[in-house]
Amino acid sequence: MKALCEKYAAKLAAQGLASGTGPDAPLVGGLDADLTWNREDPRTGELAGLFSRLSINSLVFIRPAEPYRTILDFLAARNPDGIRPEDTETRTFLHDIPVCADFTAEAMAAQLKRRKVIVIPGQGVAACGTVTPEQGFVSVSSLVFSSFVLFFSDYLNRARRVELDDEYADAFSHVVRLLPEPHTDLPGLAAGPFTDEEGVVAAMAEAGRKVVGYGLVDSFFGNISYKLDETVYISQTGSSLDELEGCIDPCPLDGSTTNGLTASSELSAHEDVYRRSNYDCILHGHPKFSVIMSMDCERDDCPNRGHCHIHCTECRTVDGVPIVPGEVGTGPTGLCHTLPPAMAANGAAIVHGHGLFTAGNNDFNAPFARLLEIENRCRDLYFDRLSRYA
Amino acid sequence: MDEFYGRTGMVLHIDLTTGTATPEHPDEAVYGRYLGGRGLAGYYLHPFADREYTDPELPLLIFTGPLTGTDSPTSGRGTILSRSPLTGAVCDGSIGGGLPTRLKKAGYDGLVITGRAETPCGIEIDDHDVRVVETSLWGTDSDAVLHGLERQLPEDTSLACIGPAAENGSLLGSVAVDHRHGGVRGGLGLVWAAKNLKYLTVRGSGEVRVHDPAALAEAREAIVRLTMASPVLMGGHGFSHWGTGALFDLINSRRMLPTDNFQKTFFEQGAAVNAAALAELYKPRDHGCLGCHIHCRKIARDGRSLPGFETMAHFTANVGNADPESAMEAADLCGKLGLDPISAASTLACLREITGQDYTDKTLLSTLRAMAEGGDLAKGALNLAQACGRPEAAMTVKGLELPAFDPRGGYGLALAYAVSTRGGCHQHAYPISHEVLRKPVATDRFTFSGKARIIKLAEDTIAACDSMNACRLIFLAAGLEEYAKALTAVTGQDWSVQSLLEVGERTTVNERRMNAGNGFDATDDDLPGRFFTEPGTSGGGVEIPPIDREKFLQARRNYYAVRGLDENGAPTTETLQRLGLDQ
Ligand code: SF4
């Protein structure tokens, strides 16, 4: 347990979600027969009270790094009854994010007995799990992503509606100053085509690490695939894109096995892209500004408002890259229906509120470059659009 | 049903000795503490848990939960529970089809069936009209009973019955529910037979009242969205497309497919009998329980049910058979005879190891027939192996035959098998979920680290699910967080993950205390010796060593500590008091 606690504390720091050292470094606790923490800290006394009040086996607590700290404290102050982002990660997995006024075991347990993750303004973020600390890590990472998207989306919307106040403007300019510079260099990934399983798996693992390293996805929720002959190699469901070794499933396109049972939920969409096109690799990340721009729409009077993520019928693009509706998976409103035709025609597509897919040939260099280029373009577009109003 | 939401407030006691049916209105507090389904059935079993299955006082319990019959996803489930004739332990069976929904709509949260009819009988429920009727169907196979009743009764009637196996005293006697929704293990069919009860029919025309339909719709939407996002349930390779047989390739490739009575863990001829091969041969159509959008059941073009993963795997790999048609026939014959297919196939595998004789397609079926007729074979693998002087050849825990997952391939699974209250069963904790299927996150399947508490929490979760009565499978996608919202919407009471887990904990500990009262102790919370001494079949980059006995025992000690049990596996006084089980 202690090793797992340390692993996820280190990952939180490596992904810039929390400081790696000092009093703000993550606290991760795990309980089997005994309770262990990744490190000593006076707050573990209070946090231990969560283990006695809740049926959990792990807990992640972080004071988020900037700019997320400012964003979360701001959103929590504005929404004391709970934060409700509208991106796909929240809609599907988090639902909403409770705000807890006090850093006491009693107050936190009252909220955590209903939800995976909570915000305690001025203190941090707490998330628990019943299987491993990885659950808390995923929840915290999703919350940070979702609140970032909400903060920027909401700011643009309010600017458009002339509803901004000084406090929001101050917080926003503070956050913007803290944003890291966008990457403009390219990683130089292994050159393809890859002709055997070993080569494919190594190339996928390398590309996955770089997509995470460039901040184009939090380590979860993206996926990646490569078609070799008539087999699609795809990252497994819930795998960390920066730890893909041993987490890639070979799925024959002829349906002769069901090995894809653990494959990414987007396997069907990937397969269909390959069937409709000559591409042989796909990258999917959740770059923040691509997601923010996919949700930005000026048509306030649209009858589909509130259901854009499944019912948008407008032909929307970011500089020609189509934005399509669709939920995770294979349901009637699943992205498996909307994404493949858009990808086959354009080699890239953004799913509303969800993330960006790019395809390529031979190796991941071109899809990676496109992923980065589209994200950087979305970031520029965001500020261009904002400058029209504020 | 006027003043209740999500429940009817009525439990019906049927005494087969007198042929009378008496309604009872349980206290509000009883519902609060046990919820419904498996929890509430356990509450009714407790005072009689030491009775033998031949004792007319031992109740046969058929219960629904507060979600049964509502718009909550996969709400068509219920529980059959009693003391197992095979193991002597508490034994529950999760049932589906339409029966639980119709029972609830007829106005009953559950049935408590006691007594013994003088002559074979059936119970016929049509809303508030409840009859115990003599029957001449005794001696006929399940298909004949169900088809015969179907012809006589209105189309919206549900049916359950036992077959000749239970009538002949086989400890492997199961219960057929709406043709394809049994899955009742532990010889519970024999409890029916001991009461001279051949069948149960239920028709219900009422509605289950829901407190806040709009909130239920919202909760439903969240659960359905998660299901759609689940590769295991709804993906192109998932259960919805292929049935649970979709597990076959994965379990084989993970080197945990029991082969040759668990002597090996990889089946070379897997491709001949996997889900894709069956689909090609039998062109199945979808079928599901009422209230379910997953439809994991598949029916072949010729009308036979396609076996689920465990049945198919045991009738192929575990008995050394690579012929899909003979496995189909064997599974179909189990259905007709009313034999639990998992236990039946495992007993065949045990016999094959002892005799060293392979089956032909003819001997496979004839041995099954013999199993339904009585004798040593009818008593399951453990009794058979003991009778042959080879007890080590029985792959059982607490006398219940293990399903088609090898515990050397998953240490959480190993612990779950050992401690499950009903014996050789993975379903009370379903560690396959995280050790193989990566849900909610993946765990290292070759370590016991952290597994004690994971198993305890999973058991509580599944017991809560069985008490609300949702399908266990949907918990591969959604969780108690989403279901607490559905339950709150249905009942109008405030449910949370935590309060549901408390019901689950009470349910499990209640079962443990009944088992402890019947003499079960730590020696019963153990695995067959083979798993600690013999390796599985390594290969494909995976090493399958024997399980380290000391580490297993430490994990079991940890489990006892986190579950609040003493060193013998019995609940401590403090645990019983905390859960209000001390009265
Ligand atoms: S998933 Fe299968 S067993 Fe569960 S409710 Fe649906 S059809 Fe029934």
- Chain B residues close to A260, C-beta within 8 Å: 231, 235-237
Residues comprising chain B, all counted: 583
CA of A23 to the centre of ligand 1 (A): 49
Give the model confidence (pLDDT) of B202-235 as tens digits.
Answer: 999 999 999 999 999 999 999 999 999 899 999 8
Give the model confidence (pLDDT) of B105-134 as tens digits.
Answer: 999 999 999 999 999 999 999 999 999 999
CA of A17 to the centre of ligand 1 (A): 40
Across B380-536, where does the E strand assignment appear?
Answer: 396-397, 400-401
Given the structure tokens 């996803």, which residue do they identify? B73
Given a contact cutoff of 8 angstroms between Cβ atoms, the answer to whether A259 and B237 are in contact is yes
Which of A106, A136, A175 has its CA nearest to residue A12?
Answer: A136
Structure tokens at B159: 């049916």
Residues 6+ away with beta carbon under 8 Å from B52:
B58, B83
- Chain B residues close to A57, C-beta within 8 Å: 450, 453-454, 457
- Chain B residues close to A239, C-beta within 8 Å: 438, 442
Give the model confidence (pLDDT) of B307-335 as tens digits.
Answer: 999 999 999 999 999 999 999 999 999 99
Q: In this complex, do B229 and A92 lie within 8 Å of one another by their Cβ atoms?
A: yes
Write the residue in B249, B437, B453 that is nearest to A258 by C-beta.
B249
Most confident of A20-34, B288-302, B544-558: B544-558
B180 vs B56, more confident? B56
The Cα-based distances of A179 to A126, A266, A307, B168 in angstroms read 24, 31, 31, 76
What is the fold of A197-387?
L-fuculose-1-phosphate Aldolase (3.40.225)
- pLDDT tens by residue, chain A, 390 residues: 889 999 999 999 998 999 999 999 999 999 988 899 999 999 999 999 999 999 999 999 999 999 999 999 999 999 999 998 887 777 777 788 999 999 999 999 999 998 999 999 999 999 999 999 999 999 999 999 999 999 999 999 999 989 999 999 999 999 999 999 999 999 999 998 999 999 999 999 999 999 999 999 875 678 999 999 999 999 999 898 998 988 999 999 988 888 889 999 899 999 999 999 999 999 999 999 999 999 887 777 777 777 777 777 777 788 889 998 888 888 888 888 899 999 999 999 999 988 999 999 999 999 999 999 999 999 999 999 999 987
Return residue ranges of chain A for CATH 3.40.225.10. 2-178, 197-387
Given the structure tokens 């048509």, which residue do they identify? A299
Q: Is the pLDDT of residue B1 over 50?
A: no
- Chain A residues close to B497, C-beta within 8 Å: 55, 113-114
Buried b / exposed e along B293-321 (16+ C-beta atoms within 10 A): bbebbbbbeeebbbbbbbbbbbbbbbbbb
Give the model confidence (pLDDT) of A37-52 as tens digits.
Answer: 999 999 999 999 999 9
* CA distance linking residue A319 with residue B187, whole number of Å: 66
Write the residue in B226, B229, B460 that is nearest to A55 by C-beta.
B460
CA of B404 to the centre of ligand 1 (A): 19
* Mean pLDDT confidence for B452-473: 96
In this prediction the ipTM stands at 0.90
* CA distance linking residue B556 with residue B545, whole number of Å: 19
The pLDDT value recorded for residue A325 is: 85
> Is the CB of residue A255 less than 8 Å away from at least one CB of chain B?
yes
Write the residue in B235, B496, B558 that is nearest to A265 by C-beta.
B235
The pLDDT value recorded for residue B151 is: 92
Q: How buried is residue A360: exposed, middle or buried, by Cβ count under 10 Å (0-12/13-18/19+)?
A: buried
Buried b / exposed e along B172-209 (16+ C-beta atoms within 10 A): bbbbbbbbbbbbbbbbbbbbbbbbbbbbbbbbbebebb
* Ligand 1 atom at minimum distance from B76 CA: 5
The pLDDT value recorded for residue B2 is: 44
* CA distance linking residue B552 with residue B440, whole number of Å: 24
Task: Give one DSSP letter per residue of A320-385, joined into a string.
Answer: TEEEE--BSSSSTTBHHHHHHHHHHHHSEEEETTTEEEEEESSSSHHHHHHHHHHHHHHHHHHHHH
Write the residue in A1, A267, A271 that is nearest to B449 by C-beta.
A1
The pLDDT value recorded for residue A92 is: 77
Q: In this complex, do A132 and B481 lie within 8 Å of one another by their Cβ atoms?
A: no
Q: In this complex, do A329 and B230 lie within 8 Å of one another by their Cβ atoms?
A: yes
Give the residue from chain B lying closest to A256, CA to CA: B276
Mean of per-residue pLDDT scores for chain B: 95
Q: In this complex, do B481 and A115 lie within 8 Å of one another by their Cβ atoms?
A: yes
Helix (H, G, I), strand (E, B) or coil at B158: strand
| pLDDT-above-70 percentage for chain B | 99
Which of A10, A75, A67 has its CA nearest to residue A39?
Answer: A10
Q: Whole-model pTM above 0.90?
A: yes
CATH of domain A2-178: 3.40.225.10
- Using a 6 Å CB cutoff, which residues line ligand 1? B 74, 76-77, 96, 288-289, 292, 294-297, 471, 473
* DSSP annotation of B565: B
Q: Is the pLDDT of residue B484 over 80?
A: yes
Given the structure tokens 């993750």, which residue do they identify? A117
Given a contact cutoff of 8 angstroms between Cβ atoms, the answer to whether A207 and A224 are in contact is yes
The pLDDT value recorded for residue B3 is: 65
CB pairs under 8 A between A and B: 169
> Is the CB of residue A198 less than 8 Å away from at least one CB of chain B?
no
The pLDDT value recorded for residue A219 is: 57
Give the residue from chain B lying closest to A249, CA to CA: B250
Structure tokens at B11: 């439990």
Given the structure tokens 């806040």, which residue do they identify? B212
Structure tokens at B317: 């790999």
Residues 6+ away with beta carbon under 8 Å from A258:
B237, B242, B245, B246, B247, B248, B249, B250, B274, B275, B276
Three-state secondary structure along B162-225?
A: CCHHHHCCCCCECCEECCCCCCCCCCCHHHHHHCCEEEEEEECCCCCCCCCHHHHHHHHHHHHH
Which of B225, B254, B475, B505 is the mutation pick for testing A, counting most A CBs within 10 A?
B225
